[in-house]
Amino acid sequence: MRVLFTMHAAAAHLFLVVPIAWALKAAGHEVIVATQPDIVDDVTRTGLTALPVGDPSNIAERLASIPADQQIFGSGYDIAEERPEVLTYEYVRDCMAAFASPLALDLITDDSMYDDLVGFCREWRPDLVVWDSITFPGMVAARACGAAHVRSTFGRDHWGRMRSLFLRLRAERPGAADEDPVADWVAAKLARYGCGYDEEAVLGQATVDSMPVWTRFPVEHDYLPVRFIPYNGPAVIPDWLKTAGPARPRVCFTLGVSGREVWGGNGSIRATDLFEAVADLDVEVVATLNAAQLDPDVKVPDNIRVVDYVPLNSLLPGCSVIVHHGGTGTFGTSIAHGVPQLVVPAKLYDEGGMARQVAAEGAGLVIQPEDLSAATLREGLLRLLGEPSFTENAARIRRLAETTPTPHDLVRDLEEVVALHRARSGERTPTG
């Protein structure tokens, strides 16, 4: 069958689905990855076929130039909000409306991406579209060409959780039966291409979920669990990483891919705080920082190795602890290698919520950004290095993750989604 993956211009989101795309190719299916021109080179470096769609996103530059109150981060709404006292009907309704607007979803994918993707799909006729859960052009293109379509998550499914909560709260609210800003937004996108709306357009026919089972929300939806397989892009293992590592503990420090490509190198952890925290500790710290993330006037301690890039999947097996910002790929790779985590969560999506989940499992600690200092970093590191329970629990959740179906297993699930879609529609989508 023909399979189209699509996501907006974020390499971190691309990396999450590369193992799945390659599993489909290895099973004999034809795969294309469609994205905005900004990350086409990242796609081709994975060995997959790229399709540029829409105008360049230039998301980092645009976010830097847009006032806070004109983007989702300054709207007062948080899709990852979980406090029951905050989640009133009005808050949930308006939060989802804020995301389905120029503040968020329309900011990252504009009409040009919808038009190009729909035009391509009507010609190529994919059997299945796998769309990143905040990249709705994929869903619209699938509906426009008659393909089956599933979402892929890049973190815990807060969109699905909020949608489920909205529908429940609305049902309990007299006079609100016709109120649905998300349905209005999605229906308008579909109507441009002559397609009708139904609830499948919001969450997909199913959702590929690479998050650990202990993080999932109780949403009534068809989730297809898949094991997170670390992929860090093209890389060469440096000479210093070929050996087993130093006798003293090794600590990894990273701010992730998105911190560089979207946020101009800024992150939730200041390198100067880290340097001060570890300068006199008997550890080796490998800090993945580029020149933009370093203050040239600050001396790097002797026990810190600064590298512009090293594949996290190759570095973590020799690490005793990882200090990071809370990105999905970093969480997944840390869990896959059973490494205790010290997280200072960024405030982009669900970094704080996922950090709390890891801490609740006893596999890490959380420092809130407002509490961050060299002293709190040092205290957290010493706890993770000195208390065996953190390593034991990190190993336990690694073993649990290894029981999740692999991308190879997921291929059969996706084939079944397509078969069911064909049976429901009474048609076979042409394949090449």
Q: Exposed (0-12), middle (13-18) or buried (19+): which is 42, by Cβ within 10 Å?
A: buried
Residue that is written with structure tokens 């499948």 in the block: 200
What local confidence, expressed as pLDDT, does residue 190 receive?
98
Domain-by-domain residue ranges, the chain? 2-227+405-425, 239-401
**For the chain, which ranges sit under pLDDT 50?**
263-265, 428-432
Determine contact, residues 314/244, Cβ cutoff 8 Å: no
- DSSP sequence for 356-391: HHHHHTTSEEE--GGG--HHHHHHHHHHHHH-HHHH
Provide the CATH topology of domain 2-227+405-425.
Rossmann fold (3.40.50)
Do 239-401 and 2-227+405-425 have the same topology in CATH?
yes
Q: What angle do CA 85, 86, 91 make, to 5 degrees?
A: 140
What local confidence, expressed as pLDDT, does residue 67 receive?
83
**Entry pTM:** 0.93
Provide the CATH topology of domain 239-401.
Rossmann fold (3.40.50)
What local confidence, expressed as pLDDT, does residue 261 receive?
54
Structure tokens at 345: 């969560």
The rounded distance, in Å, linking the Cα atoms of 221 and 203 is 8
